[in-house]
Amino acid sequence: MSVEMRTPIPVKEAIESVIQVVKHKEPFTLSVEESLNYILAEDVQATYDIPRFNKSPYDGFAINSQDSQGATGDNRIAFKVVDHIGAGTPSNVKLKNGEAVRIMTGAPIPDGADAVVMFEQTVENEHGFTIRKSFEQGENISFKGEECREQDIVLDKGQQINSGVIAVLATFGYQHVKVFQKPTVAIIATGSELVGPKDPLEPGKIRNSNGPMIEALCRDINIETTTYEIQEDNLQGCIDIVKKAMMQHDIVITTGGVSVGDFDYLPKVYEAIDAEVLFNKVQMRPGSVTTVAYKDNHILFGLSGNPSACYSGFHLFTKPAIQKMMAAQEIYPVIIEAILNEDFKKANPFTRFIRAKISFSNDGVYAAPSGFNKSNAVVAIAKSNGMIILPSGTRGYAKGDKVKVLLTDHQSYERALNL
Q: Is 320 in the site for Mg ion (CB under 5 A)?
A: no
Nearer Cβ to Mg ion, position 130 or 192? 192
Q: Which of residues 353-382 bind ligand AMP (CB under 6 A)?
A: 376
Distance CA(23)–CA(324), nearest Å, equals 7
Does position 60 interact with Mg ion (CB under 5 A)? The reply is no
* CB neighbour class for 414 (10 Å; exposed up to 12, middle 13-18, buried from 19): exposed
The dihedrals phi and psi of 198, each to the nearest 5 degrees, come to -95, -15
Q: Which of 35, 56, 91, 210 binds ligand AMP (CB under 6 A)?
A: 210
* Beta-sheet strand order (sheet of 128-131): 115-118, 60-63, 99-103, 77-85, 128-131, 122-124
Contact 373, 384 (CB under 8 A): no
Q: How far apart are CA 54 and CA 114, in angstroms?
A: 9
Task: Provide the 10 A C-beta neighbour count for residue 212.
Answer: 15
Q: What minimum distance in Å lies between the beta carbon of 12 and ligand AMP? A: 23
- Piece of 53-61, 108-116, 257-265, 383-391 that binds Mg ion (CB under 5 A): 257-265
Cα dihedral 315, 317, 323, 327 in deg (nearest 10): 160
From the list 60, 108, 110, 257, which residue makes contact with ligand AMP (rule: CB under 6 A)?
257
Instruction: Please tell me whether residue 286 binds Mg ion under the rule CB under 5 A.
Output: no
Nearer to ligand AMP, 213 or 336 (CB): 213
Convert residues 147-176 into a mask of x (bound to ligand AMP by CB under 6 A) and - (unbound): ------------------------------
Check binding of 256 to Mg ion (CB under 5 A). Answer: yes
DSSP H helices, 196-234, are: 210-220
> Is position 307 an interface residue for ligand AMP (rule: CB under 6 A)?
yes
The least CB distance from residue 341 to ligand AMP, in Å, is 28
If you ran DSSP here, which 8-state letter would residue 316 be given?
I
Could you give the CA distance from residue 207 to residue 192 in angstroms, rounded to a whole number?
11
Q: Of the listed pieces 6-14, 172-180, 243-251, 299-307, which binds ligand AMP according to CB under 6 A?
A: 299-307
- If one asks whether residue 313 binds ligand AMP (CB under 6 A), the answer comes out as no
We find the least distance from the C-beta atom of residue 238 to ligand AMP, in angstroms, to be 11
Under 8 Å between Cβ of 32 and 176: yes
Q: Which residues bind Mg ion (CB under 5 A)?
A: 191, 256-257, 305
